[in-house]
Structure 1
Amino acid sequence: MNDLKNASGFMCHLHPSATLAITAMAKEMKEQGHDVCSMCAGEPDFDTPQPIKDACIAALEAGKVTYTPASGAPELRKLLAAKFQKENGIRCAWDEIVVAPGAKYSCFTAIAALCGPGDEVIIPAPYWLSYPEMVTAVGAKVVEIPTRMENNYELDPADLEAAITENTRLLILNTPSNPTGAVYRRETLEKIAEIAVRRNIMILADEIYEKLTYDADKPHVSIASLSDEVNEHVVTVNGFSKTYAMTGWRLGYLRAPRWLARRIIAFQSHTTSNPTTFAQYGAIAALEGKADKEVRHMCEEFAKRRDLVYELISAIPGVKCIRPQGAFYLLCDVSSFGMTSEEFCNRLLAEEKLAAIPCCSFGAEGQIRLSYACSEENIRDAAGRLDAFCREHGN
């Protein structure tokens, strides 16, 4: 008789998300009446702008409730192609655009359409914890390259060159970065792009935080914009979740070379059919600029919070961090306290009722992630609790 519990499919050994686990633990404690302060959330604490919601409501009332093509509504794809060309400098046609139920799914479909057993995927660490799980899910091998705080957590091109083998299929690049908050410099991207073209590997450029950058001297640069030749080696992924506070809407998208876009569309047609139809009309309103005022306000608020959280946390003895240039995360090195990141966060939650994310699952043991997608009051409260904990357990 078959032993079904010992099945060996590619996806049977995936690990649950550590971020969701500790977030659930903090929520449960709060429901039990504990005074929990959370710095876990990887989503804006703003509501979706009203013009976007109005467009979705209007689409529902107009009966926009049937299937669209698997790759998304043509009018949305055309707007996205125009967006890539105007805002990112990426040359593309609308049939190279694939809309998906979330940028996370866009990342996965690109990996699944490109990689399989025997292939290697390079991931700079620290990384978003889902990347390695996606690679594992398709049977490919993860190759981690550590990055350094003193280098702003940017991938060293020399390290990339040394890691590439005949089996290397893909490099995953995330800028602005979760969890480091780093924004890659153009000169670094140019060196990485030259290597990718010369060694003939693809790049998955996850740019979900592209509009959440805060320093004039560290603007976001899309690696696919560097040249047409580079663009043919890049899958550019983005979405509406972070920029427009639409995390629950589940809308992401990508641009890929036409040959690869066709593969991804075929894969998506057999797994999701199409992104939610009426939600796509909210996305159209966003791309038409109807929520630009709200987006600017959110970015300005995140910039103020970035300054505040960095000022408060960097002053805590034993904690090291860089000033993030984008996204809404602060990565903190707490290795001086002699605990694993998981032990540190568990004790921090138990003793100070402060929830933070342990980064052992992010390829960054000894570090924790704090999200400043929360109020100034919450940031000050969290900094006070972390300071008290560190002073109690410091050398």
Structure 2
Amino acid sequence: MSTNTKSINANSLFTNIPKDVWTMTAEITAKAKQNPKNAHREMISLGQGFFSYSPPQFLLDATSNALNSDPLNNQYAPTRGDLRLIESIKNYYNQFYDGLQNENITITTGANEAILAILIGLLNPHDEVIVLEPFFDQYISNIKIPQGKIKYVTIHPPSDLSQGKHSGNDWKINYDELEAAINEKTKILILNTPHNPIGKVFTKEELTKIGDICYKHNIKIISDEVYEQLYFDEEQGFPRIATLDPKYAEITLTVGSFGKAFCATGHRVGYIISKNAELLKYPAAAHTRICFSTPHPPQVACAESLTLASKNGYFEDMRINYNEKFHKLMEVFDFLNISYTIPQGTYFIIADFSNVNVPFESYEFPEELQSKPKDFKLCYWLAVELGVITIPTTEFFTDEYVKKNPSVEYLLRFAVCKTDDYIDKACERLKELKPHMK
């Protein structure tokens, strides 16, 4: 072990970092498990959005085949992606786009690396990025790494958030506020649809307003569409901003993820699509410098799997299955008179727990939660009392917003990317809240 005591002058982005919500949730789980109430029962986690079950068999078979069928599959892939995967993506997405070519696609090591590569490729220091709040937390660090600045624009919740059922359409952007956030330094807007954590799918009308504003001000759009296969209104479908108008396609970089589509978050295969090949070449160059190329065998497996899934009804069946999982949870929330936003997409649902009698003042919370918003304490209380793990949603908002809008402190996010019997067990535990309701 080194005895050198000289100080390390590290990048300030990575010093004195507060614990992220995922680390804190893991620690909440560990501490709750030590409580005697949980000594002899399983902790049920509907927290982080990873799957409790295996990917479809056709992906597992394709992965095994990719590893064993050709020695070259185990070597570096081309930096822009294996041509078999690019061809498969091109064939699939040309049902939505018009005339995608190879140069319109880049494969990345997951969707998060795709977004980082776009930001590194396009931002100069002090360029500004508009982030719609609430937001996925990784956006923030990805913007700060290339020294970008963040402007937040709120997706406003319904005024009666704690009462009854809501739709994603009840969460609205004020377009005057969006215009007011723009200045000469604004370069990018990050759009997430279907939206984590709200479960909102932006409508064609909403996307058109966003697209018109961005085109008018020459703002590039990162459209994070990792949950694109998870939408539940078949009539509306899933509107893609880049396909609504050729001028939107010119300024949009669409990000996708096979981890979400095929229940395989550990495979780390994402991609960027843009009709503007000139725009895409900068993120592609950044991707080459970040990780050179994405792991090769999963690319080959995803190429085969996307082709199969587009023909065998896999995506349609997956949506039906998720809808059934959501309805189980929503029935429990209805039973408890807990307000929630009906998911239009993703595998998340957010619910308002302000109607639950939680003894915030007298309960023994861990020291590090004392200064945190109520939803962190709610998560701990649920973990101890019910053995159920969720995610506090204030982490998806800025501290400033939470201080001005304390109603969001009662929102918890539940992930349903779990087996049906696991969801059933969670529902039975949640019913134990009945004596605690106001």
Normalised to the residue count of structure 1, the TM-score between the two structures is: 0.90
Task: Give, in angstroms, the shift of residue 362 of structure 1.
Answer: 0.7
**Corresponding position: 1:372 with 2:392:** no
**Corresponding position: 1:274 with 2:293:** yes
Q: Which residue matches 1:254?
A: 272
Amino acid at match of 2:171: Y
- Helix, strand or coil for the counterpart of 1:270? helix
Q: Which residue matches 1:84?
A: 93
Task: Give, in angstroms, the shift of residue 240 of structure 1.
Answer: 0.5
- Helix, strand or coil for the counterpart of 1:145? strand
Select 1:54's aligned residue among 53, 57, 61: 61
Deviations 1:138-157, CA, capped at 9 Å, x for gaps: 22222222223334324333
Task: Give, in angstroms, the shift of residue 231 of structure 1.
Answer: 0.6
Q: Structure 2: 5+ residue runs without aligned partners?
A: 159-168, 361-372, 398-407
Amino acid at match of 2:231: T
Q: Is this contact kept in 2: 1:26–1:355, CA < 8 A?
A: yes
- Helix, strand or coil for the counterpart of 1:123? strand
Amino acid at match of 1:40: G
Q: Larger C-alpha radius of gyration, 1 or 2?
A: 2
Q: Which residue matches 1:302?
A: 322
- Quick one: distance in 1 between partners of 2:417 and 2:30? 16
- Helix, strand or coil for the counterpart of 2:340? coil
- Quick one: distance in 2 between partners of 1:315 and 1:220? 31
Q: 1:11 to 1:222 in 2, by over 3 A?
A: farther
Q: 1:171 to 1:391 in 2, by over 3 A?
A: farther
CA RMSD, aligned part only?
2.6
Task: Give, in angstroms, the shift of residue 366 of structure 1.
Answer: 3.4
List aligned pairs for 1:110-259, cutoff 5 A: 110-150=118-158, 151-256=169-274, 257-259=276-278
Equivalent pairs counted in the alignment come to: 392
Amino acid at match of 2:326: R
Q: More displaced, 172-181 or 251-260?
A: 251-260
Select 2:80's aligned residue among 71, 75, 82: 71
- Helix, strand or coil for the counterpart of 1:326? coil
Amino acid at match of 2:93: F
- Quick one: distance in 1 between partners of 2:137 and 2:294? 24
Q: 1:198 to 1:39 in 2, by over 3 A?
A: same
Q: Which residue matches 2:21?
A: 18
Q: 1:27 to 1:101 in 2, by over 3 A?
A: farther
Deviations 1:109-165, CA, capped at 9 Å, x for gaps: 112212243122111122222112221222222222222333432433333122212
Task: Give, in angstroms, the shift of residue 13 of structure 1.
Answer: 5.8
Task: Give, in angstroms, the shift of residue 229 of structure 1.
Answer: 1.2
- Helix, strand or coil for the counterpart of 1:264? helix
- Quick one: distance in 1 between partners of 2:389 and 2:300? 36
**Corresponding position: 1:7 with 2:18:** no
Amino acid at match of 2:271: Y
Q: Is this contact kept in 2: 1:77–1:95, CA < 8 A?
A: no
**Corresponding position: 1:285 with 2:309:** no
- Quick one: distance in 1 between partners of 2:225 and 2:85? 19
- Helix, strand or coil for the counterpart of 1:197? helix
- Quick one: distance in 2 between partners of 1:99 and 1:293? 24
Q: Structure 1: 5+ residue runs without aligned partners?
A: none
Q: Is this contact kept in 2: 1:91–1:225, CA < 8 A?
A: no
Q: 1:9 to 1:233 in 2, by over 3 A?
A: same
Amino acid at match of 1:26: T
- Helix, strand or coil for the counterpart of 2:208? helix
- Quick one: distance in 1 between partners of 2:76 and 2:14? 28
Select 1:106's aligned residue among 114, 129, 144: 114
Select 1:42's aligned residue among 36, 49, 70: 49
Amino acid at match of 2:286: F
- Helix, strand or coil for the counterpart of 1:260? helix
Q: Is this contact kept in 1: 2:350–2:414, CA < 8 A?
A: yes
- Helix, strand or coil for the counterpart of 1:271? helix
- Quick one: distance in 2 between partners of 1:316 and 1:293? 36
Task: Give, in angstroms, the shift of residue 323 of structure 1.
Answer: 0.7
- Quick one: distance in 1 between partners of 2:387 and 2:111? 32
Q: Is this contact kept in 2: 1:23–1:40, CA < 8 A?
A: no
Select 1:316's aligned residue among 324, 329, 336: 336
- Helix, strand or coil for the counterpart of 1:304? helix
- Quick one: distance in 2 between partners of 1:367 and 1:90? 41
Task: Give, in angstroms, the shift of residue 310 of structure 1.
Answer: 2.0
Q: 1:296 to 1:219 in 2, by over 3 A?
A: closer
- Quick one: distance in 2 between partners of 1:83 and 1:296? 15
Q: Which residue matches 1:342?
A: 376
- Helix, strand or coil for the counterpart of 1:230? helix
Amino acid at match of 1:374: K
- Quick one: distance in 2 between partners of 1:196 and 1:179? 24
Amino acid at match of 1:39: L
Deviations 1:282-316, CA, capped at 9 Å, x for gaps: 01111212573444332211011122222322442
- Quick one: distance in 2 between partners of 1:204 and 1:234? 6
Q: 1:352 to 1:210 in 2, by over 3 A?
A: same
